[in-house]
Chain A
Amino acid sequence: MSNPRFKVPRFNLRAAWAWTWPKLFAIALVLGAWEILYLSEWRPSYVLPGPIETFAALFEMVGTERFWQAASTTMTRAGTGFLLALVIGSIAGIAVARIKPLRLAVGNVITGLQVMPSIAWFPLAILVFGLNEQAILFVVVLGAGPSIANGVIAGIDHVPPAFTRLGRVLGAGSIALYRDIVLPAALPTYVAGLVQGWSFAWRSLMAGELLVIIAETPSLGTTLDFARQMSKVPELIATMIVILLIGMLVDTVFGTISRKIRRDRGLAIDD
């Protein structure tokens, strides 16, 4: 009787291990290389600390109130900026996809904006809005919005004509056709646009937090900058690790949503 009970967790453990070990191996490889570089004294240890010192700094940092204030400021900016970009990008995308003259007028501009490094907007944003939150949000929205809009446009463009024909045969009005058929059909491409939009938003935000430093408002960007100024290199690298992890975490959430959508439609490639 104990056999089948034993088999289930063992199987799960094996699957979990198969999923985990390549990641652990990669992390070990990076840490190992870092440690070797540190031990080789290629750079003095006050410029390039080793992993042990850095992770000690990370654990110490995570215990301070200031770190959580900084992280929460940064995440609030990221969330607000991304939501704004989502609303503006989606509306702009639908408008451009639907209205032909509008597409001819600004279709290429959206792609142009997507390619333009958002950091190039900061000097203008700082002059127009001043050294404040609006300047940062403005650039985050400009960074993420075009990707989201392009996701909507590509999604709508690639809706199979058979679906819109079906909508007409079933008697859908133009609003119902969009609500029930065109937009749901465009969803996988839209989500891909959101993933890309997020990565642009996150990059723009980090650039913004390094350029637009607002007094009395700690953020991950200012933490990086102060650490550099005060030569607290372990804290600097620890903050970089936090920034990397947050970016990866949000990307994983989007990836999970995207995979669920694809799986529900029979499009998933299992990985």
Chain B
Amino acid sequence: MAQAEVMLRTNNVSKSFGPEGAATVALSGVDMTIRAGEFVTIVGASGCGKSTLLNLFASLDKPTDGTIEVNGKVALMFQEATLLPWLTARGNIELALNYAGVPRKNRDVRVAELLEIVRLDDWADKRPHELSGGMRQRVALARCLAQGARIVLMDEPLGALDAMTRDHLHDEIESIVAAQGLTVVFVTHNMREAVRLGDRVILMGSRPGRVVYEQSVPLKRPRAMDSNDIASRAAELTNRLKAEQGILQGADS
């Protein structure tokens, strides 16, 4: 089988912050390749450089060393929905369409389509504070899709939601991503969530942030968050992360 085209690739990428000499190394020697249509989840302890990596993919920042290839437009979804509070759900999505260059006359139809995709057709004219946390993230997802990007980066987008809403959104994100043929990099610190969603899980270690382990997840979809398969794989990831941190602690003392 021919391999799908490469959408994102990092070649020995490093990133440091702060002045030379006293710099904090956030990422060191990161090599990864993400292909079209892949759903890749990145897990690791907080502060392992996951968000830094996404910022590099989104061109919000430049690597200190190494190169990054990005094949196409990138959209980014944040942990907080970050909806503009003075605009309605419709207005928030329309703004993204505007910046994506969608002509004014086509925007209404497109907004309606996007709201239908995230099942918020009846909430178009509500403002963010009138929506629940899950609804706000769905508007953010619709806005993300509005950018017309083939690559979607998600930075712990469900981290602040309750478990039930999160499970719903897993199903929703999964089906939308499949239907739209998107390539996704999904960052989380929740091992189960990583296994639940990912075709492939990348485990990152901290100080400095780097790839320590990779695992394909050949489980059939749809997957249930509480299935044994997911639990055992998540447990394995947790053990690897603990071992990784144990080594670090040993080195520290």
Please determine whether chains A and B interact with each other in the same assembly. yes
- B111 CB to nearest A CB, Å: 15
Q: Is the CB of B99 within 8 A of A172?
A: yes
Name the one of B76, B78, B99, B143 contacting A176, with C-beta atoms under 8 angstroms: B99
* Interface: A112 (CB within 8 A): no
Cβ–Cβ < 8 Å partners of A32 in chain B: none
A180 to B127, CA, bound (A): 16
| Per-position binary interface string of chain A over residues 256-271, scored 1 when its CB falls under 8 Å from any chain B CB and 0 otherwise | 0000010011110000
Q: Is the CB of A166 within 8 A of B100?
A: no
Known A163-B84, A184-B84, A187-B86; contact A169-B129, beta-carbon cutoff 8 A: no
Q: Is the CB of A165 within 8 A of B60?
A: yes
| Per-position binary interface string of chain B over residues 125-141, scored 1 when its CB falls under 8 Å from any chain A CB and 0 otherwise | 00111100000000000
Q: What residue of chain B has the Cβ atom nearest to residue A181's Cβ?
A: B84
A residues 156-183 near B (Cβ < 8 Å) are 162-163, 165-166, 168-172, 176, 180-181
A168 to B58, CA, bound (A): 10
Q: What residue of chain A has the Cβ atom nearest to residue B83's Cβ?
A: A166
Name the one of A166, A172, A261, A267 contacting B82, with C-beta atoms under 8 angstroms: A166
Q: What residue of chain B has the Cβ atom nearest to residue A160's Cβ?
A: B82
Interface size of A in residues (CB-CB distance below 8 Å): 20
Q: Is the CB of B147 within 8 A of A265?
A: no
Known A162-B78, A162-B82; contact A266-B60, beta-carbon cutoff 8 A: no
A11 to B96, CA, bound (A): 45
- B148 CB to nearest A CB, Å: 10
Q: Is the CB of A185 within 8 A of B84?
A: yes
| Per-position binary interface string of chain A over residues 78-109, scored 1 when its CB falls under 8 Å from any chain B CB and 0 otherwise | 00000000000000000000000000000000
| Per-position binary interface string of chain A over residues 49-84, scored 1 when its CB falls under 8 Å from any chain B CB and 0 otherwise | 000000000000000000000000000000000000
Q: Is the CB of A170 within 8 A of B95?
A: yes
Known A162-B78, A176-B99, A265-B127; contact A171-B86, beta-carbon cutoff 8 A: no
Known A165-B60, A170-B147, A172-B99; contact A264-B127, beta-carbon cutoff 8 A: yes
* Interface: B75 (CB within 8 A): yes
Q: Is the CB of A169 within 8 A of B84?
A: no
- B74 CB to nearest A CB, Å: 8
Q: Is the CB of A266 within 8 A of B147?
A: no
A95 to B169, CA, bound (A): 44
Known A168-B60, A170-B147, A172-B99; contact A163-B82, beta-carbon cutoff 8 A: yes
Name the one of B84, B143, B147 contacting A171, with C-beta atoms under 8 angstroms: B147
Q: Is the CB of A266 within 8 A of B96?
A: no
A264 to B129, CA, bound (A): 9
Q: Is the CB of A169 within 8 A of B60?
A: yes
- A175 CB to nearest B CB, Å: 12
Q: What residue of chain B has the Cβ atom nearest to residue A165's Cβ?
A: B60
Q: Is the CB of A170 within 8 A of B129?
A: no
* Interface: B167 (CB within 8 A): no
Cβ–Cβ < 8 Å partners of B129 in chain A: 265-266
Q: What residue of chain A has the Cβ atom nearest to residue B73's Cβ?
A: A171
A interface vs B, CB < 8 Å? 162-163, 165-166, 168-172, 176, 180-181, 184-185, 187, 261, 264-267
23 pairs from A and B in contact (CB 8 Å cutoff): A162-B80, A163-B82, A163-B84, A166-B78, A166-B84, A168-B60, A169-B60, A169-B75, A170-B100, A170-B143, A171-B100, A171-B147, A176-B99, A185-B86, A261-B86, A264-B85, A265-B85, A265-B86, A265-B127, A266-B127, A266-B129, A266-B130, A267-B85
Additional pairs, 15, CB under 8 Å, beyond known A162-B82, A165-B82, A187-B86: A162-B78, A163-B84, A165-B60, A165-B78, A168-B60, A169-B75, A171-B100, A176-B99, A185-B86, A261-B86, A264-B85, A264-B86, A264-B127, A265-B127, A265-B129
